[in-house]
Each structure stands twice: as structure tokens, then as C-alpha cells.
């Protein structure tokens, strides 16, 4: 049978309490009996003495009145006697308390217990025998007991007993129990919990022996903990490089796959192998090779981001897991950075070493859904990179490889094109539907490559938006458009120019300031300049964007919301931003002849009228469309019906023809 | 479990103690005197029970005093004489309640006339409670009637004994110092009144209750309540003396209603509205007045 220490202590104390209180009860009742015996004996002695005194002094029955004072004194001096009476048979001769007019004949109850006898008898009685002449006379001397006083006295006695032998021992036992609990059982329980759960370290104990045990346990557990940590690290760390090893990679990869699966997110698995590393080991020795690997590890740790995971899984093989990238281009930039840094000139113990690395890339989940397939496919891709001449990277699929390579090439070409002045602005007229006059143009970018000819904006603008080149290109567009405006102004071509501005441009803090400055320098009337934005800007709404739009509007520049109806088309944007023109997307105008299509166009035009926003229809190709727009009182249109986007000089001709 | 055990035990002890605990009774020793009948009235009306007060009835004033002195009572009633006797030993003794001023209630009786007393050459027996105001009264009487030179045989007995004396049984000239209601029995037994506090304006005899200052302060609430009960009893006496008599007649043995009514003339109630003159007189005779409940 196993006892809990707390229960054991309680058990022993309960036994002690039981024994103590059994003794206590025995002595209490014995003492109560003794006390009753003493009281009874005293009263009996007193009554006998009084009876004797009276017997010797009484000469006649009437003399009893002369002893009233004696009886009064006896009664008053004894708390347990309420009154004393002398009776002749049942006739009351004298009583010390007149309140007792009659003394009942009650037989004296003799009991085994003095206490019961004392408490149950109302009177104690004896005879007074005296001689009246020669005749013996007998009177009854009755002591009327003060039951209330007797009860009170025994109660007092009981209270004292309970306090000294009942309550105080309980307090003492409780104190003992509390002390044992505080200093023994609680510390032991804490030690048990510490030994079992090994979580909270108990504070120092007051009892020396327990404290020694606690100290030893804490010391042992600390040592075990540090050894455990050490073992854990050893099992998961590559001893040469200090990077994670294959075990750690597998654990991390398992967690990452689960997280990515849940979040439906992609990550890149990079397999990096140092080119010709074996020859370094063979020619310069393993110690040089090892030191080189250590330096490479440090370099990788330094150039990669904290969110990237690096592991050394073999002699010169590393795995890098990259989660945070927005595009393959960004990923290729990271890879390029790694390759560039590794291909620097290394000096290991005075030995100059030139190295390069090949990297194979596989993506979760499209190239592998588990660690084995990701490892295998990244390895294949790495060998492909080696096969293609080393010092390069290669994606697992040719298609992806091609897409990424194209993006990289496009990025390069796009930036080069700006330097080579391969970009040109084309202008598409905007026609007032009231008088069919050209009242403005929208400036549209065109890339006329020296090698590939005309490249449509949708082929390079998304990439420019993605890689940030749009900011640079956007500045060029603004400058070119404003320059053209000035030229036309000088030729009295009084039109307004709409310039497309990207979300990235508008999110720059000083965009509005710089734009306004350009207008001021060229003394351009801001009312003649219109900025075209898309709903995408509102989705990425920021303080800077709002600030720039408000500043431009306040300066007098109008704002056009392009492609209205194709995105969120939230009315709250129209309320919140100072929009001057709504441009209805071509897709709506293509359906003008259908009932459903017409409803949409009609609704947008009416809404514009109600909100005091002018409406421009885009992609107008037929006269019927123009007629329809006039009918519904649309403000302007733009499209091939009037003219496709034209070079500046061609537009001039068209404009001049139009005004004649 | 430990907490439950301790709590349970303490609760048992607590309730046990609560159930049985009762304050000690306040014991007041009292003697049979018309001036103290309001206390008997209160007792019989069971007004004293809620105050936990018990009356110890004895037959003499001195017995009263000795009961208190022996520690068998917590307060006692008596005259200035009983107060002065004890206050010399117990400096904390203090009068707390006034009942009455004797106005004929203290009486000197004799089996012969004053003239016969003056003429007699015999030894004169004088029955009295020596350790009481009786002594003062007797001394005063002897002085007033020039009996100082007479041979006086002082017999110290309590009033219960004295009241049973019969003039026919006495051979010597006898003087008895007694007080109402014991005088009625004695007058029936052939004694005649020679003098009383009524015809001695110099003699101030007041009846009061005395106790220890500490005890008084400890039980002030009960004594204040008792004082109110005394006032109430005196009021009831004034309103319906018959009812009052019927309630307390057990304490006035052999006293008829008429005698009771007559004895009321022998005292002046000073339980409330104590004349300032009396207070001054008491103060002048080293009688503490500061604790007297007004």
C-alpha cells in the first residue's frame, strides 16, 4: 500500500487527535463527575451542619423564625442554593426567599452519577430533630438548589475544558499540520513534480535535507538539459560549417511543407554544388578545402536573409530553402547574388582560389510535394546546370527555365531600351461627342526595339511594374508627354494630354511635388493635363497615394479613372477621390447593341451625370457606337473610329484636318 | 481535506460554546425595607431576568454589607453608614443609585415610656444591629433624651430576631432600634414608638445601592436599565399601591396593606429628582455622588 506523504501526515495527526480526544473526553466526564461530587458533598455537609445547629438550639417550632438570618446567610453565601426552607411536614415555617410559597414533595433521586443526581434533584433535604420539653420533634430542612447557577457553573467548566483541552490542541495540531505541509509535504510534492515534469524549478527550501535534495536535483537536471541541448545541436548541426545538417534540413523541410500546404504557398529548393571542389581538395589538401567550405558557409549565412534556410548536406553540397520572393525574377536576383559572391577570389592560407557554383532549383509543390522528390529534382536541375557549363543555375523544368530566362532578358533589354531611346509616345485622340472635335489625347507608350521591332506594352509593362522599372519609365513618359504638349502649344494645338501613371509612381512621397514642379517649369496650364489611373491604385491605397492625388487635384490637374467597370468599380472610390473622368472599358462598348450591354453603358453615363463626372467611352470603332453614345449623352469617346494611336506628327496632321 | 477538518472542528467548538455561553449573573444583596421594595417589585415582575440580575435577600443591613465584602454579591443596598464602613477599606466603593430618604422609617421603640426610661436605675437593654445605621440612631436618641449616663446593655441581633421580641417576655427596660416593616410586628408585641427619623430633622438617612467603580463601569448598561426599572416600579406604586403591595407582599411578612400604606409615609422617594440640598449634605459627609445614576 502506497501513501501520499500529505495523507500519511494527516493520518498520523488524525490518530493523535483521536487518541487525545478520547483521553480528553474521559477526563472531561470524570472531572465533571468529581466536580458534581464535591458540590454535592459540600451542600450535604452544609445541610447536615445546619441541621445539627438548629437541632441543638431549637426549643420550639416557633423558634425557627429566630434563625432566619442564619439561613439567609447560608443561602446568600452559597451560589448553588437558591433558598432554604424549614417545613413542619408540608407546612412552610420559614423560607429565605419569599418567592417560594410552597415546597413540593419531590423524592430525592439517587443516581449512580453524582452529576446526574445534582442536576436532576430540585431539593436536598434532611431532618431537624429537637426536643420540645421531652417530646422529640422533627422538622424538614430543605435546601432548594439553584439549578441555573449549577448549569452555568458546569457550562463554565465545559467552556474552560473546551478552550484549553479542545480548541488549543486543535490549534496546535493545525499549526503542526500547516508547518509540516509548508516545510515538508509541499516541498516534497514540488520535488516530485520537478522530477516528473521537469518544468518549474522549486525555490530554496527551509529544511536543510530537503534543500540538499533540491539543489542536487536542480544541478543534475541543468547538466542533463545542457547535455541534451548539446546532443540536439550535434545531431542537427554540421560540425565543419556550423550550418544545419541533413537531419535538420529534413525536419525543417517537413514543417515547411506542412505550413506551405496549409497556406497554399510556394517555396524554392536550391541545390548548390561547388564546381570542381574535388580538385581543390586534391591539389591543396583537405584542410584548405575544409577552410574554404567554412568561409563559404559564413558567406552564405551573411548574404541570405533570415527567413532563408541553409544546410550543408555533403562535402561541397548545400541546400538553400527560400520562401520569401514575389517573382522568379526576384528569386533569380538572389541566386545571382549568391553566385556572384561565391565567385570572388578566395585566399585560404595564402592560397588564391577561384571557385564557382552550380545551382539546381525545384519548387514546392509543382516540382515535388515531399522532401525526397524536391531533393532529387533540384539535384537533377543542378546537374543540368553543370552540364550546361557550370557557374550557372537551372530550373527543374525547361519551360520554367525558359520563362525565367526570358523575363531576365526582357528586364535587361527593357532597361537598355531606355538608354537607347527605343521608347516612343503615341497619341490617341479623344473626341467631344457634342461637336465631334478632338479635344485631347491619351499618351501611350510604344517600344520600338532595334532588334525585335514594335513590342506591345502588355509584353513589357507588367514586368516593369513587377521589377520597379516602371518608375524610371514613368518619369520618361511624363517628361516626353509634357515636352510634346509644349511643342503643340507652340503650334497652337490646343488640346489636353492624358498621361498614364502607375500605382508605384503615385505611392512615392514626392511624386505630386515633382510633377507640379515640371508643369510650373514649363508653364503648363494644369487643366490641360490629365492623369489616368486604374482602380488598382485604390486597392493599394496608402497615405502617400491619397496625398499625391489630392495635391494634383488641388493644383488643377484632372483625374481619369481608366477601365471603369472591369475591376471593383466601387462607388466609395468616386466619393473619396476627386475623379473628373470615368473611362468606360471597351468590353462594355462592344455590347452596346444588346439590351443587357446597353443598360450598363447607360447606367454608367447616367451615374456620371448625376455625380458630375464626365464619361469617356473607349474602343469606339463604329459610327453606330458613336450615334448611340450621342443618344445617351456620353461626353467623349476614344477609339479607332476616330483614330488609332498615332505618332506626334501624324496626330498633328489629323488634328489640323479635323479642325478645318 | 485538512482545511475541512480544521473548519469542521472549529465550527463544532464554536457552536457548542455559543449554545452554552451565558454571562455571569449580577448579584445584588438586599434586605427587607420599604425603600427597597421597588427592587422586589422588579424581581416579581420578572424584569430582572433579561438583565441577568439576581437578588440575594438577607435579614439585616450589616449582613448585606458583609455579603458584599466577602465577595458573595456584586452590589449591595444600605445607608450611608454601611457605605462609610466599607469605603474606608475599599476606596473604589461608590454609590450608584438612590432609593429613599428615611422619614420616620427608622424607629426607636421601647417597652416603657421615655419618662420611665429617664427615671429608671436599671440596666437598659438595647436591641439593634450594631454594624448598621441603628447605632447612629441609638446614639442620637440617647443624646437627645439625655440617656447617655444610663447603663446600656447593647444586644446585637438582626431584625428577623428582633422583630420576634415580645414586651411581655422582657423584664428589663428595653430599647429597640428597628425600621419599617419590622416595627409593625414589634408594636403588635407591645412596644411603643419613642422616636423616628421623622421627628429628627438633623438626621439624614438615605438608602442607596453601592458597588465597586470597576464593576459599575463594566456593567453600566445593566445598572442604567435597573435604575429605569426602579423608577418604573416607584411610578407603579404611586399609580396603583394595591397592585404593588400584592406583588411584593411576600417580602413584607405580617404586614397588612394598611400598614404598607402607612409605611410609605415613613420614606421620601429620592430615586429621581434628588433635591440638591440632599446631594450637598451627602457630599459634605464624604459620600461620593459622581456615579449616582440620575
Q: Which of A10, A79, A155 lies at the smallest CB-CB distance from B20? A: A155
* Contact flag A76-B72 (C-beta cutoff 8 Å): yes
Q: What is the mean pLDDT of residues A513-533?
A: 94
Cα–Cα distance, A554 to A549 (Å, whole number): 8
A170 to chain B nearest CA, in Å?
A: 8
Tell me if chain A has a CB within 8 Å of the CB of B143.
Answer: no
Contact B14, B20 (CB under 8 A): no
Kind plus residue range of the DSSP H or E element containing A136:
strand A135-145
Pick the residue with more confidence: B74 or A165? B74
Question: Which grid coordinates are listed for B25?
Answer: 449573573
Average pLDDT over residues A186-193: 88
- Min Cα–Cα distance to chain A from B277, Å: 36
Per the omega criterion (within 30 degrees of 0), is the bond before A129 cis? no
Considering only CB atoms, B57 lies closest to which of A97, A155, A162, namely A97
pLDDT of A163 > 90? The answer is no
CA–CA separation, B103 vs B266, rounded Å?
Answer: 5
Q: Which three cell numbers stand for residue A305?
A: 536573409
- Report the 10 Å Cβ neighbour count for A594: 10
Cβ of B160 within 8 Å of Cβ of A181? The answer is no
- Closest partner residue to B57 (CB to CB) among A10, A79, A96 is A96
- Residue to mutate among B14, B19, B36, B57, with most A CBs inside 10 A, is B57
Give the pLDDT mean for A492-515.
92
Mean pLDDT of chain A: 88
Res. A538 pLDDT band, cuts 50 70 90 = confident
Give yes or no for A168 touching B (CB within 8 A).
no
Q: Do residues A256 and A248 make contact, with C-beta atoms less than 8 angstroms apart?
A: no
Mean pLDDT of B224-248: 94
Contact B158 A69 (CB under 8 A): yes
DSSP state of A639: S
What H or E segment, with its residue span, contains residue A308?
A: none
In the predicted model, is pLDDT for residue B99 greater than 50? yes
Name residues whose C-beta falls within 8 Å of residue A298's C-beta, 6 or more positions apart in sequence: none
Could you tell me which residue, A540 or A461, shows the higher pLDDT? A461
- Per-residue confidence band for B7, with pLDDT thresholds at 50, 70 and 90: low
Judged by CB atoms within 8 Å, which residues 250-289 of B form the interface with A? 250-251, 253
Residue pair B177/B108 in contact by the 8 Å Cβ criterion: yes
Is pLDDT above 90 for B238? yes
Closest residue to B29, CB basis, from A69, A76, A97: A76
Instruction: Please return the burial class of B71, using the count of CB atoms within 10 Å of its CB with bins 0-12, 13-18 and 19+.
Output: exposed
Of the pLDDT bands very low, low, confident and very high (cuts 50, 70, 90), residue B201 is: low
Confidence class for position A451, pLDDT limits 50, 70, 90: confident
**Measured between alpha carbons, how far is B246 from B256 in angstroms, rounded to an integer?**
10
Share of chain B above pLDDT 70, in %: 91
**Strand pairing category for A529-533 and A496-500:** parallel
B250: nearest CA partner in chain A: A98
* Strands across the sheet containing A267-274: A309-312, A317-322, A267-274, A357-364, A393-395
Three-state secondary structure call for residue A425: strand
What pLDDT score does A410 carry?
A: 87
pLDDT digits (tens, 9 = 90+) for A331-354: 888 999 999 999 988 999 888 999
**Is the CB of A119 inside 8 Å of chain B's CB atoms?**
no
Q: What would the grid cell of residue A659 be?
A: 479642325
Q: Looking at the complex, report in whole angstroms how far the Cα of residue B195 sits from the nearest Cα belonging to chain A.
A: 25
Q: Rounded to the nearest 10 degrees, how much is the dihedral formed by the CA atoms of A97, A99, A101, A102?
A: -80
Residue B260 to residues A30, B133, B152, B182, B239, Cα–Cα distance (Å): 53, 22, 32, 11, 15
Q: Any CB–CB contact under 8 A between A96 and chain B?
A: yes
Indicate the pLDDT class of residue B166, thresholds 50, 70 and 90: very high
Query: What pLDDT, on a 0 to 100 scale, did the predictor assign at position A575?
Result: 81
Query: Cβ B58–A155 below 8 Å, yes or no?
Result: no
Mean pLDDT of chain B: 87
Q: What is the pLDDT of residue A658?
A: 77
CA distances, B196 to each of A149, B134, B202 (Å) = 41, 11, 12
Contact A66 B164 (CB under 8 A): yes
> Where does residue A228 rank: exposed (0-12), middle (13-18), buried (19+ CB within 10 A)?
exposed
Partners of residue A98 in chain B, C-beta under 8 Å:
57, 250-251, 253
Measured between alpha carbons, how far is A184 from A208 in angstroms, rounded to an integer? 11
Q: Mean pLDDT lowest for which of A197-206, A454-463, A538-547, B71-80?
A: A538-547
Strands A438-449, B26-31: pairing is unpaired
HEC secondary structure over B45-86: CCCCCCCCEEEEEECCHHHHHHHHHCCCCCEEEEEHHHHHHH
* Res A527 pLDDT > 70: yes
Strands (E) located in A576-617: 581-584, 614-617
Query: B125 CB near a chain A CB, below 8 Å?
Result: no
* Interface touch B70/A66, C-beta < 8 Å: no
Q: Which of A3, A28, A77 to mutate to test the interface with B (most CBs of B within 10 A)?
A: A77
Contact criterion met (CB below 8 Å) for B158 and B107:
no
User: Does the bond joining A135 to the residue before it have cis omega, within 30 degrees of 0?
Assistant: no
Residue B214 is predicted with a pLDDT of: 94
Q: Could you tell me if A380 lies within 8 Å of chain B, comparing CB atoms?
A: no
CA A391/CA A376 separation, integer angstroms: 20
* Nearest beta carbon to residue A65 from set B17, B58, B160: B160
Q: Does B121 touch chain A (CB under 8 A)?
A: no
Cβ-defined contact of B6 to A73 (cutoff 8 Å): no
What cell does B262 get? 402607612
Q: How far is A148 from chain B (nearest CA, A)?
A: 10
What φ, ψ does residue A507 adopt, rounded to 5°?
A: -80, -5
Residue B114 · residue B199 · CB < 8 Å: no
Q: How many CB atoms lie within 10 A of CB B290?
A: 8
For cell 525545384, what's the residue?
Answer: A362
For residue B105, pLDDT beyond 80: yes
Chain A positions touching B37 (Cβ under 8 A) are none
A420, burial (CB in 10 Å: exposed 0-12, middle 13-18, buried 19+): exposed
Look-up of cell digits 422533627? A138
**pLDDT of B63 above 90:** no
Find, in chain A, the residue whose alpha carbon is nearest to that of B158. Answer: A69
Is the CB of B92 inside 8 Å of chain A's CB atoms? Answer: no
Q: How far is CA A571 from CA A46, A535, A561, A630, in A?
A: 115, 11, 12, 25
Residues on chain A touching B52 (C-beta within 8 angstroms): none
Q: What is the 3-class SS of chain B, one letter each residue?
A: CHHHHHHHHHHHHHHHHHHHCCCCCEEEEEECCHHHHHHHHHHHCCCCCCCCEEEEEECCHHHHHHHHHCCCCCEEEEEHHHHHHHHCCCCCEEEEEEEEEECCCEEEEECCCHHHHHHCCCCEEEEECCCCHHHHHHHHHHHHCCCCCCCEEEEECCHHHHCCCCHHHCCCCEEEEEECCHHHHHHHCCCEEEEEHHHCCCCCCEEEEEEEHHHHHHCHHHHHHHHHHHHHHHHHHHHCHHHHHHHHHHHCCCCCHHHHHHHHCCEEECCCCCCHHHHHHHHHCCCCCCCCCC
Q: Where are the alpha helices (DSSP H) in A112-167?
A: 114-120, 147-161
Residue B25: pLDDT band with limits 50, 70, 90: confident
Per-residue buried b or exposed e for A332-359, using 16+ beta carbons within 10 Å of the residue's own CB: bebbeebbeebeeebebeeeebebebbb
Among all residues of chain A, which has the CA nearest to that of B45? A99
Q: Percent of chain B having pLDDT more than 90?
A: 47
Any chain B CB within 8 A of the CB of A102? no
> Is the CB of residue A593 less than 8 Å from the CB of residue A624?
yes
Q: Residues of chain A with pLDDT > 90: what percent?
A: 44
Q: Residue B21: pLDDT band by 50, 70, 90 thresholds?
A: very low
End-to-end CA distance of chain A: 117
Q: What is the mean pLDDT of residues B217-224?
A: 94
> Taking 80 as the threshold, does the pLDDT of residue A504 lie above it?
yes
Residue A302 confidence class, pLDDT cut points 50, 70, 90: very high
Q: Tell me, what's the pLDDT at B23?
A: 61
What is the model's pLDDT at position A569? 65
pLDDT of residue A111 exceeding 80, the answer is no
pLDDT confidence bin for B110, thresholds 50/70/90: very high
Task: Please report residues of B whose CB lies closer than 8 A to that of A154.
Answer: none
pLDDT of residue A573: 77
- Residue B11 contacts A, CB cutoff 8 Å: no
B199 pLDDT band, cuts 50/70/90, is confident
Q: What is the pLDDT of residues A464-476, one digit of tens each?
A: 888 888 999 999 9
pLDDT digits (tens, 9 = 90+) for A233-256: 888 899 899 999 999 999 999 999
Amino acid at each position: 500500500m502506497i501513501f501520499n506523504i500529505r495523507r500519511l501526515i494527516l493520518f498520523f495527526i488524525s490518530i493523535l487527535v483521536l487518541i487525545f480526544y478520547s483521553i480528553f473526553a474521559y477526563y472531561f466526564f470524570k472531572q465533571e463527575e468529581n466536580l458534581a461530587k464535591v458540590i454535592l458533598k459540600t451542600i450535604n455537609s452544609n445541610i447536615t451542619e445546619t441541621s445539627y445547629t438548629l437541632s441543638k438550639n431549637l426549643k420550639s417550632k416557633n423558634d425557627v423564625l429566630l434563625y432566619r438570618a442564619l439561613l439567609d446567610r447560608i443561602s446568600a453565601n452559597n451560589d448553588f442554593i437558591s433558598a432554604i426552607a424549614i417545613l413542619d411536614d408540608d407546612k412552610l415555617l420559614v423560607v429565605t426567599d419569599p418567592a417560594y410559597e410552597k415546597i413540593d414533595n419531590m423524592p430525592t433521586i439517587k443516581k449512580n452519577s453524582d452529576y446526574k443526581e445534582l442536576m436532576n434533584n430540585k431539593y436536598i433535604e434532611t431532618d431537624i430533630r429537637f426536643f420540645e420539653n421531652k417530646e422529640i420533634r422533627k422538622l424538614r430542612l430543605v435546601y432548594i438548589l439553584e439549578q441555573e447557577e449549577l448549569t452555568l457553573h458546569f457550562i463554565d467548566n465545559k467552556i474552560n475544558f473546551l478552550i484549553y483541552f479542545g480548541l488549543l490542541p486543535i490549534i496546535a495540531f493545525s499549526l503542526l499540520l500547516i508547518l509540516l505541509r509548508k516545510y515538508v509535504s509541499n516541498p516534497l510534492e514540488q520535488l516530485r513534480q520537478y522530477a516528473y515534469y521537469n518544468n518549474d524549478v522549486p525555490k530554496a527550501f527551509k529544511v536543510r535535507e530537503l534543500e540538499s535534495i533540491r539543489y542536487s536535483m536542480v544541478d543534475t537536471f541543468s547538466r542533463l538539459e545542457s547535455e541534451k541541448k548539446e546532443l540536439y545541436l550535434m545531431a542537427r548541426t554540421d560540425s565543419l560549417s556550423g550550418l544545419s545538417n541533413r537531419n535538420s534540413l529534413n525536419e525543417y523541410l517537413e514543417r515547411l511543407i506542412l505550413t506551405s500546404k496549409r497556406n497554399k504557398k510556394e517555396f524554392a529548393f536550391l541545390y548548390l554544388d561547388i564546381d570542381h571542389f574535388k580538385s581543390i581538395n586534391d591539389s591543396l589538401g583537405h584542410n584548405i578545402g575544409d577552410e574554404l567550405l567554412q568561409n563559404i558557409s559564413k558567406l552564405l549565412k551573411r548574404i541570405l536573409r533570415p527567413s532563408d534556410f541553409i544546410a550543408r548536406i555533403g562535402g561541397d553540397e548545400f541546400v538553400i530553402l527560400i520562401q520569401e520572393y514575389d517573382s522568379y525574377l526576384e528569386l533569380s536576383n538572389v541566386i545571382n547574388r549568391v553566385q556572384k559572391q561565391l565567385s570572388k577570389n578566395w585566399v585560404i592560407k595564402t592560397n588564391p582560389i577561384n571557385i564557382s557554383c552550380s545551382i539546381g532549383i525545384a519548387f514546392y509543390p509543382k516540382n515535388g510535394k515531399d522532401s525526397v522528390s524536391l531533393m532529387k529534382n533540384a539535384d537533377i536541375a543542378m546537374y543540368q546546370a553543370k552540364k550546361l557549363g557550370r557557374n550557372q543555375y537551372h530550373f527543374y523544368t525547361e519551360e520554367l527555365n525558359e520563362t525565367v530566362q526570358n523575363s531576365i532578358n526582357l528586364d535587361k533589354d527593357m532597361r537598355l531600351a531606355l538608354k537607347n531611346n527605343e521608347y516612343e509616345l503615341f497619341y490617341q485622340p479623344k473626341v467631344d461627342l457634342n461637336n465631334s472635335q478632338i479635344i485631347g489625347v491619351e499618351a501611350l507608350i510604344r517600344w520600338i526595339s532595334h532588334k525585335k521591332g514594335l513590342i506591345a506594352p502588355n509584353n513589357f509593362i507588367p514586368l516593369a511594374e513587377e521589377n520597379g522599372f516602371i518608375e524610371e519609365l514613368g518619369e520618361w513618359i511624363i517628361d516626353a508627354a509634357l515636352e510634346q504638349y509644349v511643342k503643340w502649344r507652340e503650334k497652337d494645338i490646343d488640346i489636353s494630354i492624358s498621361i498614364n501613371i502607375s500605382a508605384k509612381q503615385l505611392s512615392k512621397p514626392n511624386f505630386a511635388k515633382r510633377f507640379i514642379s515640371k508643369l510650373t517649369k514649363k508653364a503648363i496650364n494644369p487643366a490641360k493635363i490629365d492623369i489616368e489611373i486604374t482602380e488598382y491604385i485604390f486597392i493599394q491605397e496608402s497615405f502617400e497615394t491619397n496625398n499625391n492625388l489630392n495635391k494634383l487635384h488641388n493644383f488643377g490637374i484632372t483625374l481619369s479613372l481608366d477601365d471603369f467597370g472591369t475591376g471593383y468599380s466601387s462607388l466609395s472610390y468616386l466619393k473619396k477621390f476627386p475623379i473628373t473622368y470615368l473611362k468606360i472599358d471597351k468590353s462594355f462598348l462592344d455590347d452596346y447593341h444588346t439590351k443587357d450591354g446597353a443598360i450598363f453603358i447607360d447606367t454608367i453615363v447616367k451615374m456620371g451625370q448625376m455625380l458630375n463626372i464626365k464619361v469617356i467611352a473607349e474602343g469606339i470603332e463604329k459610327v453606330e457606337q458613336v450615334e448611340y453614345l450621342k443618344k445617351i449623352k456620353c461626353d467623349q469617346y476614344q477609339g479607332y473610329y476616330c483614330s488609332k494611336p498615332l505618332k506626334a506628327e501624324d496626330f498633328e496632321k489629323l488634328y489640323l484636318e479635323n479642325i478645318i | 481535506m485538512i482545511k475541512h477538518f480544521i473548519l469542521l472542528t472549529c465550527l463544532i467548538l464554536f457552536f457548542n460554546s455559543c449554545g452554552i455561553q451565558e454571562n455571569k449573573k449580577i448579584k445584588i444583596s438586599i434586605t427587607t425595607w420599604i425603600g427597597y421594595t421597588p427592587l422586589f417589585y422588579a424581581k416579581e415582575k420578572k424584569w430582572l431576568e433579561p438583565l441577568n440580575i439576581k437578588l440575594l435577600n438577607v435579614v439585616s443591613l450589616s449582613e448585606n454589607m458583609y455579603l458584599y465584602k466577602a465577595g458573595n454579591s456584586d452590589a449591595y443596598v444600605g445607608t450611608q453608614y454601611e457605605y462609610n464602613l466599607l469605603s474606608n477599606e475599599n476606596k473604589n466603593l461608590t454609590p450608584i443609585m438612590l432609593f429613599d430618604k428615611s422619614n420616620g422609617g427608622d424607629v426607636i421603640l421601647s417597652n416603657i415610656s421615655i419618662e420611665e426610661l429617664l427615671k429608671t436605675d436599671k440596666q437598659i437593654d438595647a436591641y439593634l444591629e450594631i454594624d448598621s445605621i441603628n447605632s447612629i440612631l441609638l446614639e442620637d436618641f440617647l443624646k437627645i433624651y439625655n440617656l447617655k449616663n444610663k447603663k446600656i446593655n447593647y444586644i446585637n441581633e438582626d431584625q428577623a430576631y428582633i422583630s420576634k421580641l415580645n414586651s411581655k417576655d422582657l423584664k428589663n427596660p428595653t430599647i429597640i432600634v428597628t425600621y419599617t416593616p419590622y416595627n409593625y410586628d414589634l408594636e403588635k408585641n407591645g412596644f411603643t414608638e419613642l422616636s423616628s427619623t421623622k421627628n429628627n430633622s438633623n438626621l439624614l438617612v438615605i438608602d442607596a445601592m453601592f458597588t465597586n467603580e470597576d464593576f459599575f463601569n463594566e456593567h453600566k448598561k445593566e445598572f442604567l436599565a435597573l435604575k429605569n426599572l426602579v423608577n418604573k416600579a416607584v411610578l407603579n406604586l404611586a399609580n396603583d399601591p394595591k397592585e404593588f403591595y400584592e406583588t411584593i407582599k411576600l417580602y413584607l411578612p405580617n404586614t397588612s396593606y394598611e400598614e404598607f400604606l402607612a409605611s410609605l409615609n415613613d420614606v421620601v422617594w429620592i430615586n429621581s429628582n434628588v433635591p440638591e440640598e440632599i446631594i450637598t449634605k451627602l457630599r459634605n459627609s464624604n459620600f461620593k455622588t459622581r456615579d449616582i445614576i440620575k
